[in-house]
Structure 1
Protein backbone atom coordinates (compact mmCIF):
# COMPACT_ATOMS: atom_id res chain seq x y z
CA UNK A 1 0.00 0.00 0.00
CA UNK A 2 1.23 3.50 -0.75
CA UNK A 3 1.32 5.84 2.21
CA UNK A 4 2.13 9.49 1.82
CA UNK A 5 5.00 10.67 3.97
CA UNK A 6 4.47 12.39 7.27
CA UNK A 7 2.38 9.65 8.86
CA UNK A 8 -0.80 10.71 7.10
CA UNK A 9 -3.88 8.53 7.49
CA UNK A 10 -4.60 8.88 3.80
CA UNK A 11 -3.61 6.00 1.55
CA UNK A 12 -4.52 4.42 -1.74
CA UNK A 13 -5.34 0.73 -1.79
CA UNK A 14 -4.32 -1.49 -4.66
CA UNK A 15 -5.84 -0.10 -7.87
CA UNK A 16 -9.28 -1.55 -8.42
CA UNK A 17 -9.60 -2.88 -4.88
CA UNK A 18 -12.57 -0.98 -3.54
CA UNK A 19 -14.51 -2.36 -0.61
CA UNK A 20 -17.05 -1.07 1.86
CA UNK A 21 -20.79 -1.38 2.05
CA UNK A 22 -22.89 -1.20 -1.08
CA UNK A 23 -24.54 1.92 0.35
CA UNK A 24 -21.16 3.57 0.80
CA UNK A 25 -20.07 2.83 -2.76
CA UNK A 26 -23.42 3.96 -4.14
CA UNK A 27 -23.31 7.25 -2.21
CA UNK A 28 -19.78 8.01 -3.40
CA UNK A 29 -20.62 7.15 -7.01
CA UNK A 30 -23.75 9.29 -6.91
CA UNK A 31 -21.80 12.14 -5.29
CA UNK A 32 -19.18 12.02 -8.04
CA UNK A 33 -21.86 11.96 -10.76
CA UNK A 34 -23.89 14.80 -9.24
CA UNK A 35 -20.79 16.91 -8.69
CA UNK A 36 -19.53 16.32 -12.25
CA UNK A 37 -22.92 17.55 -13.47
CA UNK A 38 -22.76 20.62 -11.23
CA UNK A 39 -25.98 19.45 -9.59
CA UNK A 40 -25.89 21.13 -6.17
CA UNK A 41 -29.41 19.89 -5.36
CA UNK A 42 -28.35 16.34 -6.22
CA UNK A 43 -25.27 16.64 -4.01
CA UNK A 44 -27.40 18.06 -1.18
CA UNK A 45 -29.78 15.07 -1.36
CA UNK A 46 -26.82 12.77 -0.63
CA UNK A 47 -25.91 14.60 2.57
CA UNK A 48 -27.38 13.94 6.00
CA UNK A 49 -28.57 16.89 8.07
CA UNK A 50 -25.66 18.02 10.23
CA UNK A 51 -23.06 16.81 7.73
CA UNK A 52 -19.52 18.02 8.48
CA UNK A 53 -16.67 18.49 5.99
CA UNK A 54 -13.11 18.89 7.25
CA UNK A 55 -10.53 20.22 4.79
CA UNK A 56 -6.78 19.75 5.22
CA UNK A 57 -4.94 22.35 3.17
CA UNK A 58 -1.88 22.11 5.38
CA UNK A 59 -1.42 25.85 5.25
CA UNK A 60 -0.20 25.34 1.69
CA UNK A 61 -3.48 25.70 -0.21
CA UNK A 62 -6.55 27.74 0.64
CA UNK A 63 -8.88 25.87 2.98
CA UNK A 64 -11.59 26.85 5.45
CA UNK A 65 -10.26 27.68 8.92
CA UNK A 66 -12.91 25.48 10.52
CA UNK A 67 -15.03 22.53 9.48
CA UNK A 68 -17.81 23.27 7.00
CA UNK A 69 -21.14 22.27 8.55
CA UNK A 70 -24.63 21.78 7.17
CA UNK A 71 -26.13 20.46 3.96
CA UNK A 72 -26.13 23.69 1.92
CA UNK A 73 -22.59 24.87 2.77
CA UNK A 74 -21.08 21.39 2.31
CA UNK A 75 -22.94 20.81 -0.97
CA UNK A 76 -21.81 24.20 -2.27
CA UNK A 77 -18.19 23.56 -1.28
CA UNK A 78 -18.15 20.12 -2.91
CA UNK A 79 -19.77 21.30 -6.14
CA UNK A 80 -17.30 24.20 -6.36
CA UNK A 81 -14.38 21.84 -5.79
CA UNK A 82 -15.50 19.08 -8.11
CA UNK A 83 -16.54 21.29 -11.02
CA UNK A 84 -13.45 23.50 -11.22
CA UNK A 85 -12.21 24.12 -14.76
CA UNK A 86 -10.10 21.23 -16.08
CA UNK A 87 -11.00 19.07 -13.06
CA UNK A 88 -11.37 15.34 -13.50
CA UNK A 89 -13.19 13.39 -10.81
CA UNK A 90 -12.96 9.65 -10.32
CA UNK A 91 -14.00 7.13 -7.72
CA UNK A 92 -11.06 5.20 -6.33
CA UNK A 93 -10.18 3.28 -3.21
CA UNK A 94 -9.26 5.62 -0.36
CA UNK A 95 -8.31 3.89 2.88
CA UNK A 96 -9.91 0.70 1.55
CA UNK A 97 -13.32 2.14 0.71
CA UNK A 98 -14.66 4.18 -2.21
CA UNK A 99 -13.61 7.82 -2.18
CA UNK A 100 -13.12 10.56 -4.75
CA UNK A 101 -9.85 11.66 -6.32
CA UNK A 102 -9.80 15.10 -7.95
CA UNK A 103 -7.21 15.79 -10.65
CA UNK A 104 -6.49 19.04 -12.43
CA UNK A 105 -3.87 19.67 -15.08
CA UNK A 106 -2.41 16.19 -14.63
CA UNK A 107 -1.96 16.26 -10.86
CA UNK A 108 -4.03 15.23 -7.87
CA UNK A 109 -5.39 18.30 -6.08
CA UNK A 110 -7.65 16.55 -3.60
CA UNK A 111 -8.73 13.24 -2.15
CA UNK A 112 -12.16 13.03 -0.54
CA UNK A 113 -13.08 10.36 1.97
CA UNK A 114 -16.56 10.03 3.45
CA UNK A 115 -18.47 8.25 6.18
CA UNK A 116 -21.91 7.11 5.12
CA UNK A 117 -24.89 6.22 7.26
CA UNK A 118 -27.99 4.85 5.57
CA UNK A 119 -26.96 5.82 2.00
CA UNK A 120 -26.28 9.43 2.96
CA UNK A 121 -23.00 11.14 3.79
CA UNK A 122 -22.56 12.03 7.45
CA UNK A 123 -18.93 13.20 7.45
CA UNK A 124 -16.38 14.04 4.77
CA UNK A 125 -12.66 14.72 4.84
CA UNK A 126 -10.82 16.41 2.01
CA UNK A 127 -7.04 16.29 1.84
CA UNK A 128 -5.85 19.10 -0.43
CA UNK A 129 -2.42 19.54 1.15
CA UNK A 130 -0.04 18.78 -1.74
CA UNK A 131 2.56 17.41 0.70
CA UNK A 132 0.13 14.61 1.56
CA UNK A 133 -0.81 13.89 -2.06
CA UNK A 134 2.65 13.17 -3.48
CA UNK A 135 2.06 9.46 -4.01
CA UNK A 136 -1.30 9.89 -5.69
CA UNK A 137 -1.36 10.06 -9.47
CA UNK A 138 -3.89 11.05 -12.08
Structure 2
Protein backbone atom coordinates (compact mmCIF):
# COMPACT_ATOMS: atom_id res chain seq x y z
CA UNK A 1 0.00 0.00 0.00
CA UNK A 2 1.52 3.31 -1.03
CA UNK A 3 1.83 6.24 1.29
CA UNK A 4 -0.45 9.18 0.89
CA UNK A 5 1.45 12.36 0.06
CA UNK A 6 0.57 15.88 -1.05
CA UNK A 7 0.21 16.24 -4.77
CA UNK A 8 2.58 18.84 -6.19
CA UNK A 9 0.87 21.54 -8.22
CA UNK A 10 3.23 20.82 -11.12
CA UNK A 11 1.98 17.22 -11.23
CA UNK A 12 -1.73 17.98 -11.07
CA UNK A 13 -3.17 18.76 -14.47
CA UNK A 14 0.23 19.40 -16.03
CA UNK A 15 -0.53 17.46 -19.20
CA UNK A 16 -3.99 19.01 -19.45
CA UNK A 17 -2.51 22.47 -19.04
CA UNK A 18 0.04 21.85 -21.79
CA UNK A 19 -2.67 20.49 -24.09
CA UNK A 20 -4.90 23.47 -23.40
CA UNK A 21 -2.04 25.88 -24.12
CA UNK A 22 -1.26 24.06 -27.37
CA UNK A 23 -4.95 24.23 -28.35
CA UNK A 24 -5.01 27.98 -27.70
CA UNK A 25 -1.97 28.53 -29.91
CA UNK A 26 -3.52 26.49 -32.72
CA UNK A 27 -6.87 28.28 -32.48
CA UNK A 28 -5.04 31.63 -32.47
CA UNK A 29 -4.15 30.93 -36.12
CA UNK A 30 -7.79 30.87 -37.20
CA UNK A 31 -7.97 34.48 -38.41
CA UNK A 32 -4.76 34.15 -40.41
CA UNK A 33 -6.04 30.92 -41.95
CA UNK A 34 -9.34 32.58 -42.85
CA UNK A 35 -7.40 35.44 -44.44
CA UNK A 36 -5.37 32.94 -46.46
CA UNK A 37 -8.39 30.88 -47.51
CA UNK A 38 -10.40 33.94 -48.51
CA UNK A 39 -7.65 35.06 -50.87
CA UNK A 40 -7.60 31.54 -52.30
CA UNK A 41 -11.35 31.04 -52.67
CA UNK A 42 -12.87 34.51 -53.08
CA UNK A 43 -15.81 34.11 -50.68
CA UNK A 44 -16.00 33.97 -46.91
CA UNK A 45 -18.32 30.95 -46.96
CA UNK A 46 -15.80 28.90 -48.96
CA UNK A 47 -12.97 30.21 -46.79
CA UNK A 48 -14.82 29.09 -43.65
CA UNK A 49 -15.20 25.62 -45.17
CA UNK A 50 -11.45 25.46 -45.83
CA UNK A 51 -10.57 26.52 -42.29
CA UNK A 52 -13.05 24.09 -40.74
CA UNK A 53 -11.64 21.19 -42.74
CA UNK A 54 -8.09 22.24 -41.80
CA UNK A 55 -8.92 22.00 -38.10
CA UNK A 56 -10.73 18.71 -38.61
CA UNK A 57 -7.54 17.27 -40.07
CA UNK A 58 -5.51 18.64 -37.16
CA UNK A 59 -7.77 17.01 -34.56
CA UNK A 60 -7.78 13.73 -36.44
CA UNK A 61 -4.03 13.43 -35.82
CA UNK A 62 -2.90 11.22 -32.98
CA UNK A 63 -1.39 13.13 -30.04
CA UNK A 64 2.01 11.72 -30.92
CA UNK A 65 1.67 12.99 -34.49
CA UNK A 66 0.75 16.48 -33.30
CA UNK A 67 3.70 16.50 -30.91
CA UNK A 68 6.03 15.77 -33.82
CA UNK A 69 4.93 18.91 -35.69
CA UNK A 70 7.56 21.51 -34.87
CA UNK A 71 5.62 24.48 -36.30
CA UNK A 72 1.83 23.96 -36.03
CA UNK A 73 1.09 27.34 -37.65
CA UNK A 74 3.09 26.42 -40.75
CA UNK A 75 1.45 22.97 -40.84
CA UNK A 76 -2.02 24.52 -40.69
CA UNK A 77 -1.17 26.95 -43.49
CA UNK A 78 0.14 24.17 -45.75
CA UNK A 79 -2.93 22.02 -45.15
CA UNK A 80 -5.32 24.94 -45.75
CA UNK A 81 -3.49 25.68 -48.99
CA UNK A 82 -3.78 22.09 -50.18
CA UNK A 83 -7.49 22.03 -49.38
CA UNK A 84 -7.95 25.30 -51.25
CA UNK A 85 -6.05 23.93 -54.24
CA UNK A 86 -8.33 20.88 -54.31
CA UNK A 87 -11.49 22.98 -53.98
CA UNK A 88 -10.62 25.59 -56.59
CA UNK A 89 -11.28 23.17 -59.44
CA UNK A 90 -14.73 22.20 -58.18
CA UNK A 91 -15.51 25.85 -57.35
CA UNK A 92 -14.90 26.80 -60.97
CA UNK A 93 -17.23 24.04 -62.10
CA UNK A 94 -19.96 25.31 -59.75
CA UNK A 95 -19.56 28.84 -61.07
CA UNK A 96 -20.28 27.66 -64.60
CA UNK A 97 -23.86 26.97 -63.46
CA UNK A 98 -24.10 30.14 -61.36
CA UNK A 99 -27.10 32.31 -62.16
CA UNK A 100 -25.78 35.44 -63.88
CA UNK A 101 -22.31 36.81 -63.24
CA UNK A 102 -20.14 35.54 -60.40
CA UNK A 103 -18.04 38.03 -58.45
CA UNK A 104 -15.72 37.60 -55.49
CA UNK A 105 -17.11 38.83 -52.19
CA UNK A 106 -16.37 42.47 -51.30
CA UNK A 107 -15.09 42.86 -47.75
CA UNK A 108 -14.41 45.83 -45.45
CA UNK A 109 -10.94 47.35 -45.71
CA UNK A 110 -9.86 46.24 -42.23
CA UNK A 111 -11.41 42.76 -42.10
CA UNK A 112 -8.06 40.99 -42.38
CA UNK A 113 -5.81 43.79 -41.15
CA UNK A 114 -2.37 42.63 -40.00
CA UNK A 115 -2.92 39.00 -41.00
CA UNK A 116 -0.33 39.07 -43.79
CA UNK A 117 2.18 41.66 -42.61
CA UNK A 118 4.19 39.31 -40.42
CA UNK A 119 4.92 36.34 -42.70
CA UNK A 120 5.90 33.04 -41.16
CA UNK A 121 9.23 33.12 -42.96
CA UNK A 122 9.99 36.82 -43.29
CA UNK A 123 13.68 36.14 -43.86
CA UNK A 124 12.79 34.44 -47.14
CA UNK A 125 11.09 37.50 -48.63
CA UNK A 126 12.74 38.91 -51.70
CA UNK A 127 14.99 41.87 -51.07
CA UNK A 128 13.73 43.60 -54.20
CA UNK A 129 10.35 45.19 -53.35
CA UNK A 130 9.25 44.73 -56.95
CA UNK A 131 9.31 40.99 -56.32
CA UNK A 132 6.30 41.31 -54.07
CA UNK A 133 3.03 43.07 -54.71
CA UNK A 134 2.19 45.49 -51.92
CA UNK A 135 -0.21 44.12 -49.36
CA UNK A 136 -2.47 47.14 -49.03
CA UNK A 137 -4.89 45.83 -51.64
CA UNK A 138 -4.46 42.11 -50.95
CA UNK A 139 -8.20 41.58 -50.54
CA UNK A 140 -9.46 44.21 -52.97
CA UNK A 141 -11.96 43.37 -55.67
CA UNK A 142 -9.37 44.52 -58.20
CA UNK A 143 -6.94 41.85 -57.05
CA UNK A 144 -9.53 39.14 -56.38
CA UNK A 145 -10.85 39.39 -59.93
CA UNK A 146 -7.30 38.96 -61.24
CA UNK A 147 -6.82 35.95 -58.96
CA UNK A 148 -9.94 34.41 -60.48
CA UNK A 149 -8.25 34.43 -63.89
CA UNK A 150 -5.24 32.47 -62.61
CA UNK A 151 -4.84 28.73 -62.64
CA UNK A 152 -5.34 27.19 -59.17
CA UNK A 153 -1.60 26.48 -58.88
CA UNK A 154 -0.69 30.07 -59.85
CA UNK A 155 -3.12 31.42 -57.31
CA UNK A 156 -1.81 29.27 -54.49
CA UNK A 157 1.82 30.07 -55.32
CA UNK A 158 1.18 33.81 -55.53
CA UNK A 159 -0.86 34.07 -52.32
CA UNK A 160 1.54 31.94 -50.29
CA UNK A 161 4.70 33.67 -51.47
CA UNK A 162 3.76 37.27 -52.27
CA UNK A 163 1.25 37.77 -49.48
CA UNK A 164 2.39 35.42 -46.72
CA UNK A 165 6.08 35.13 -47.50
CA UNK A 166 6.26 31.34 -47.67
CA UNK A 167 9.46 30.19 -49.44
CA UNK A 168 9.18 28.40 -52.78
CA UNK A 169 10.62 25.11 -51.58
CA UNK A 170 7.73 24.82 -49.10
CA UNK A 171 5.12 25.91 -51.66
CA UNK A 172 6.48 23.26 -54.06
CA UNK A 173 5.23 20.57 -51.70
CA UNK A 174 1.75 22.10 -51.69
CA UNK A 175 1.33 22.40 -55.47
CA UNK A 176 3.27 19.26 -56.36
CA UNK A 177 5.89 21.04 -58.49
CA UNK A 178 9.61 21.65 -58.20
CA UNK A 179 10.78 24.82 -56.44
CA UNK A 180 11.88 26.25 -59.80
CA UNK A 181 8.51 25.51 -61.40
CA UNK A 182 6.75 27.00 -58.40
CA UNK A 183 8.80 30.17 -58.75
CA UNK A 184 7.65 30.40 -62.38
CA UNK A 185 4.03 30.02 -61.27
CA UNK A 186 4.40 32.99 -58.94
CA UNK A 187 6.18 35.02 -61.63
CA UNK A 188 3.36 34.37 -64.09
CA UNK A 189 0.77 35.27 -61.45
CA UNK A 190 2.64 38.45 -60.53
CA UNK A 191 2.71 39.46 -64.19
CA UNK A 192 -1.09 39.16 -64.33
CA UNK A 193 -1.43 41.31 -61.22
CA UNK A 194 0.87 44.01 -62.52
CA UNK A 195 -1.07 44.23 -65.78
CA UNK A 196 -4.20 44.85 -63.72
CA UNK A 197 -2.50 47.60 -61.71
CA UNK A 198 -1.46 49.80 -64.63
CA UNK A 199 -2.30 53.50 -64.47
CA UNK A 200 -3.41 53.32 -60.86
CA UNK A 201 -4.27 56.56 -59.14
CA UNK A 202 -3.74 57.67 -55.55
CA UNK A 203 -6.34 56.85 -52.92
CA UNK A 204 -7.25 60.54 -52.79
CA UNK A 205 -7.89 60.66 -56.54
CA UNK A 206 -9.83 57.39 -56.37
CA UNK A 207 -12.12 58.74 -53.66
CA UNK A 208 -12.68 62.06 -55.41
CA UNK A 209 -13.77 60.31 -58.60
CA UNK A 210 -16.01 57.90 -56.69
CA UNK A 211 -17.68 60.77 -54.82
CA UNK A 212 -18.33 62.47 -58.16
CA UNK A 213 -19.92 59.20 -59.37
CA UNK A 214 -22.29 59.20 -56.41
CA UNK A 215 -23.23 62.87 -56.80
CA UNK A 216 -23.99 62.43 -60.50
CA UNK A 217 -25.92 59.19 -59.98
CA UNK A 218 -28.04 60.50 -57.12
CA UNK A 219 -28.48 63.85 -58.83
CA UNK A 220 -29.58 62.23 -62.09
CA UNK A 221 -27.04 64.11 -64.19
CA UNK A 222 -25.93 61.76 -66.94
CA UNK A 223 -23.43 64.24 -68.38
CA UNK A 224 -21.61 64.51 -65.03
CA UNK A 225 -21.68 60.73 -64.74
CA UNK A 226 -20.15 60.29 -68.18
CA UNK A 227 -17.27 62.59 -67.18
CA UNK A 228 -16.10 60.23 -64.42
CA UNK A 229 -16.51 57.00 -66.39
CA UNK A 230 -13.64 55.80 -68.57
CA UNK A 231 -14.75 55.18 -72.18
CA UNK A 232 -14.20 51.43 -71.83
CA UNK A 233 -15.67 51.09 -68.33
CA UNK A 234 -17.17 47.70 -67.47
CA UNK A 235 -20.00 47.00 -65.02
CA UNK A 236 -20.48 43.57 -63.47
CA UNK A 237 -23.44 42.74 -61.27
CA UNK A 238 -23.75 39.65 -59.06
CA UNK A 239 -27.31 38.85 -57.97
CA UNK A 240 -26.69 35.17 -57.30
CA UNK A 241 -30.16 34.27 -58.50
CA UNK A 242 -31.67 36.08 -55.50
CA UNK A 243 -31.99 39.51 -57.12
CA UNK A 244 -32.64 40.51 -60.70
CA UNK A 245 -29.33 41.63 -62.13
CA UNK A 246 -27.64 42.32 -65.44
CA UNK A 247 -26.84 38.83 -66.77
CA UNK A 248 -23.91 40.01 -68.89
CA UNK A 249 -21.09 42.52 -68.52
CA UNK A 250 -22.23 46.04 -69.44
CA UNK A 251 -19.48 47.82 -71.38
CA UNK A 252 -18.95 51.41 -72.41
CA UNK A 253 -19.54 54.64 -70.53
CA UNK A 254 -22.83 55.44 -72.25
CA UNK A 255 -24.36 52.01 -71.51
CA UNK A 256 -23.13 51.99 -67.91
CA UNK A 257 -24.36 55.52 -67.25
CA UNK A 258 -27.81 54.82 -68.71
CA UNK A 259 -28.05 51.59 -66.69
CA UNK A 260 -27.46 53.43 -63.42
CA UNK A 261 -29.84 56.21 -64.36
CA UNK A 262 -32.50 53.60 -65.06
CA UNK A 263 -31.95 51.96 -61.68
CA UNK A 264 -32.28 55.27 -59.84
CA UNK A 265 -35.51 56.09 -61.69
CA UNK A 266 -37.01 52.70 -60.82
CA UNK A 267 -35.86 52.83 -57.20
CA UNK A 268 -36.10 56.43 -56.02
CA UNK A 269 -35.67 55.40 -52.35
CA UNK A 270 -32.20 53.92 -53.02
CA UNK A 271 -29.46 55.50 -50.95
CA UNK A 272 -25.67 55.29 -51.44
CA UNK A 273 -23.80 55.41 -48.12
CA UNK A 274 -20.01 55.52 -48.15
CA UNK A 275 -17.89 52.70 -46.75
CA UNK A 276 -14.16 52.02 -46.65
CA UNK A 277 -13.34 49.05 -48.84
CA UNK A 278 -10.08 47.40 -49.81
CA UNK A 279 -10.37 49.23 -53.16
CA UNK A 280 -10.90 52.62 -51.51
CA UNK A 281 -14.16 54.46 -51.08
CA UNK A 282 -17.24 52.45 -51.98
CA UNK A 283 -20.95 52.54 -51.21
CA UNK A 284 -23.43 50.36 -49.45
CA UNK A 285 -26.86 50.57 -51.07
CA UNK A 286 -29.77 51.04 -48.69
CA UNK A 287 -33.30 50.65 -49.96
CA UNK A 288 -36.21 51.49 -47.66
CA UNK A 289 -34.14 50.82 -44.57
CA UNK A 290 -32.67 47.47 -45.65
CA UNK A 291 -29.30 46.50 -47.04
CA UNK A 292 -29.65 46.13 -50.79
CA UNK A 293 -26.13 45.89 -52.21
CA UNK A 294 -22.50 46.99 -52.21
CA UNK A 295 -20.70 48.84 -54.96
CA UNK A 296 -16.92 49.10 -55.38
CA UNK A 297 -14.77 50.71 -58.04
CA UNK A 298 -11.49 50.49 -59.91
CA UNK A 299 -10.18 53.90 -60.97
CA UNK A 300 -7.40 54.77 -63.39
CA UNK A 301 -6.13 58.07 -64.77
CA UNK A 302 -8.92 57.82 -67.37
CA UNK A 303 -11.70 57.57 -64.79
CA UNK A 304 -13.69 54.64 -63.43
CA UNK A 305 -12.65 51.53 -65.36
CA UNK A 306 -14.54 48.85 -63.43
CA UNK A 307 -17.70 48.89 -61.36
CA UNK A 308 -18.53 45.85 -59.24
CA UNK A 309 -22.06 45.73 -57.89
CA UNK A 310 -22.80 42.99 -55.36
CA UNK A 311 -26.49 42.28 -54.86
CA UNK A 312 -26.22 38.66 -53.73
CA UNK A 313 -27.33 38.83 -50.05
CA UNK A 314 -25.14 35.82 -49.19
CA UNK A 315 -22.07 37.93 -50.00
CA UNK A 316 -23.11 41.00 -48.03
CA UNK A 317 -23.10 39.63 -44.50
CA UNK A 318 -20.01 41.60 -43.42
CA UNK A 319 -21.52 44.96 -44.31
CA UNK A 320 -23.52 46.71 -41.63
CA UNK A 321 -26.00 49.51 -42.16
CA UNK A 322 -24.55 51.16 -39.04
CA UNK A 323 -21.53 53.35 -39.64
Q: TM-score normalised to the size of structure 2?
A: 0.38
Q: 2:296 aligned to 108, 113, 120, which one?
A: 113
8 Å CA contact 1:27, 1:119 repeated in 2:
no
The count of aligned residue pairs is 133
Q: Does 1:129 align with 2:312?
A: yes
For residues 27-52 of structure 1, give each alpha carbon's deviation from its aligned partner in whole angstroms, at most 9, with x where no partner exists.
Answer: 11111111110111111111111110
Give the aligned CA root-mean-square deviation in angstroms: 2.3
Partner SS state of residue 6, structure 1 = helix
Shift of 1:6: 2.2
Please give the alpha-carbon distance, in whole angstroms, between the structure 2 residues aligned to 1:94 and 1:107: 20
Shift >4 Å, 4+ stretches = none
Extract unaligned runs of 5+ from structure 1. Answer: none
Shift of 1:80: 3.0
More helix per residue: 2
Q: 2:109 aligned to 6, 13, 25, which one?
A: 13
Q: 1:24 to 1:82 in 2, by over 3 A?
A: farther
8 Å CA contact 1:52, 1:69 repeated in 2:
yes
Please give the alpha-carbon distance, in whole angstroms, between the structure 2 residues aligned to 1:65 and 1:30: 27
Q: 1:96 to 1:46 in 2, by over 3 A?
A: closer
Please give the alpha-carbon distance, in whole angstroms, between the structure 1 residues aligned to 2:283 and 2:263: 11
Partner SS state of residue 101, structure 1 = strand
More strand per residue: 1
Shift of 1:127: 0.3
Extract unaligned runs of 5+ from structure 2. Answer: 1-30, 32-37, 47-103, 111-136, 138-201
Shift of 1:78: 2.1
Q: 1:63 to 1:114 in 2, by over 3 A?
A: same
Please give the alpha-carbon distance, in whole angstroms, between the structure 2 residues aligned to 1:132 and 1:9: 5
State the match for 1:38 in structure 2.
220
Shift of 1:100: 1.6
> Which gives a bigger RCO, structure 1 or 2 (Cα 8 Å, sep 6+)?
1
Partner SS state of residue 125, structure 1 = strand
Q: How is 1:1-138 mapped onto 2 (pairs within 5 angstroms)?
A: 5-7=44-46, 8-13=104-109, 21-82=203-264, 84-95=267-278, 97-118=280-301, 120-138=303-321
